[in-house]
Structure 1
Amino acid sequence: MDQQIKRLLATYKKKTIKLAELEFLMKSFLPTYAAFAEAVLQLEKQGILVMVKAKGRTSRTPSLAFNYRINKNLIVEDFHVELQHYRSTLHAAINLDLYYGKDPSLWKKDLPAILKIDAYIKEHGFPDDQVPAPERSYALVGDEKWIVEKGGKEVLERIGLFDRLQIIPVSEPLMFAINPKKIHEASQYHLIVENKTTYQGLLPALKETMFASLIYGSGKAVIKSMEQFSMQYPVEAKHHFFYFGDIDREGIAIWHSLDKKIKMILAMPFYQACLVKTPSIGKEYQREQITSLEQFLPFFSDEQQEQMKEMLANGKYHPQETLKTKELQQIWRESDWTNLI
Structure 2
Amino acid sequence: MNYKKILENWNKEYGKVSIEWSKLQEILDIDDYPYFVSIVNELEHTNVLKKYSPKKNGRNPSLFMKYKLIVEENDYLDYIKEIDYDLAPELDKSYYKQKLSTYERDRQDILAISNYIKNKKHLLNTSISTNERSYEVFRREKRIKQKGINTIMKNLGLDEDFFNYYETCEPIAYYSVSKGSPQNVLIIENQDTFYSIRKYIKTVSKNVLGIEISTVIYGGGNGRLPSINEIEEYTEEYISNINNTFYYFGDIDYAGISIYESYRERNIDKIDWVPFKEGYEYILDKVVGDSRAIEDINSLPVTKDGQKDNRKGIFMDFFDNKYQQKIENILSERKYIPQEALNFNDLISYDKEFSNE
User: TM-score normalized by structure 1?
Assistant: 0.58
**What is the CA-CA distance between 1:139 and the residue it aligns to?**
0.8
**What is the CA-CA distance between 1:115 and the residue it aligns to?**
5.6
The answer to whether the 8 A contact 1:248-1:317 is kept is yes
Superposed CA deviations along residues 159-185 of structure 1, whole A, max 9, x for unmatched, are 75358523351x321000124342xx3
Q: Secondary structure at the match of 2:252?
A: coil
Give the structure 1 partner of residue 241 of structure 2.
237
The answer to whether the 8 A contact 1:253-1:289 is kept is no
Q: Secondary structure at the match of 2:187?
A: strand
Amino acid in structure 2 at the alignment position of 1:120: Y
The answer to whether the 8 A contact 2:187-2:249 is kept is yes
Give the structure 2 partner of residue 311 of structure 1.
330
Mapped to 2, the partners of 1:212 and 1:122 lie a distance apart of 51
The answer to whether the 8 A contact 1:192-1:243 is kept is yes
Give the structure 1 partner of residue 306 of structure 2.
287
Amino acid in structure 2 at the alignment position of 1:237: N
Mapped to 1, the partners of 2:266 and 2:354 lie a distance apart of 25
**What is the CA-CA distance between 1:140 and the residue it aligns to?**
2.0
Mapped to 2, the partners of 1:116 and 1:241 lie a distance apart of 45
1:254 aligns with 2:259: yes
Superposed CA deviations along residues 215-274 of structure 1, whole A, max 9, x for unmatched, are 122422742586632222242732653210111234234324533542443222322333
Mapped to 2, the partners of 1:7 and 1:156 lie a distance apart of 14
CA 1:224–1:18 in structure 2 vs 1: closer, same or farther (change >3 Å)? Answer: same
**Higher helix content, 1 or 2:** 1
Mapped to 1, the partners of 2:18 and 2:326 lie a distance apart of 45
Q: Please identify the structure whose Cα radius of gyration is greater.
A: 2
CA 1:220–1:160 in structure 2 vs 1: closer, same or farther (change >3 Å)? Answer: farther
Give the structure 1 partner of residue 348 of structure 2.
326
**What is the CA-CA distance between 1:282 and the residue it aligns to?**
1.8
Mapped to 2, the partners of 1:152 and 1:318 lie a distance apart of 41
Give the structure 1 partner of residue 120 of structure 2.
124
Unaligned runs of 5+ in 2: 1-7, 30-38, 69-82, 93-102, 289-296
Mapped to 2, the partners of 1:293 and 1:113 lie a distance apart of 42
User: TM-score normalized by structure 2?
Assistant: 0.56
CA 1:18–1:193 in structure 2 vs 1: closer, same or farther (change >3 Å)? Answer: closer
Mapped to 2, the partners of 1:90 and 1:329 lie a distance apart of 68
Alignment match of 1:195 (pick from 190, 194, 204): 190
Mapped to 2, the partners of 1:256 and 1:237 lie a distance apart of 21
Give the RMSD, CA atoms, in angstroms: 5.1
Mapped to 1, the partners of 2:316 and 2:354 lie a distance apart of 22
Superposed CA deviations along residues 301-327 of structure 1, whole A, max 9, x for unmatched, are 566445434313434222223332136
Alignment match of 2:175 (pick from 174, 177, 193): 177
CA 1:309–1:244 in structure 2 vs 1: closer, same or farther (change >3 Å)? Answer: same
CA 1:319–1:310 in structure 2 vs 1: closer, same or farther (change >3 Å)? Answer: same
Alignment match of 2:274 (pick from 260, 265, 272): 265
Give the structure 2 partner of residue 4 of structure 1.
11
The answer to whether the 8 A contact 1:174-1:226 is kept is no
Superposed CA deviations along residues 54-77 of structure 1, whole A, max 9, x for unmatched, are 779xxxxxxxx822399xxxxxxx
CA 1:281–1:121 in structure 2 vs 1: closer, same or farther (change >3 Å)? Answer: farther
Amino acid in structure 2 at the alignment position of 1:33: H
Amino acid in structure 2 at the alignment position of 1:249: Y
Mapped to 2, the partners of 1:317 and 1:55 lie a distance apart of 50
Amino acid in structure 2 at the alignment position of 1:255: Y
The answer to whether the 8 A contact 1:137-1:143 is kept is yes
Mapped to 1, the partners of 2:232 and 2:109 lie a distance apart of 30
The answer to whether the 8 A contact 1:137-1:145 is kept is yes
1:133 aligns with 2:130: yes
Mapped to 2, the partners of 1:287 and 1:22 lie a distance apart of 28
Mapped to 1, the partners of 2:17 and 2:310 lie a distance apart of 31
Amino acid in structure 1 at the alignment position of 2:253: D
Aligned-residue sequence identity (percent) comes to 21
Mapped to 2, the partners of 1:8 and 1:121 lie a distance apart of 27
Superposed CA deviations along residues 22-67 of structure 1, whole A, max 9, x for unmatched, are 9959x99x96734324xx47xxxxxxx5x245779xxxxxxxx822
Mapped to 2, the partners of 1:212 and 1:153 lie a distance apart of 44
Mapped to 2, the partners of 1:152 and 1:177 lie a distance apart of 41
Mapped to 2, the partners of 1:309 and 1:115 lie a distance apart of 57
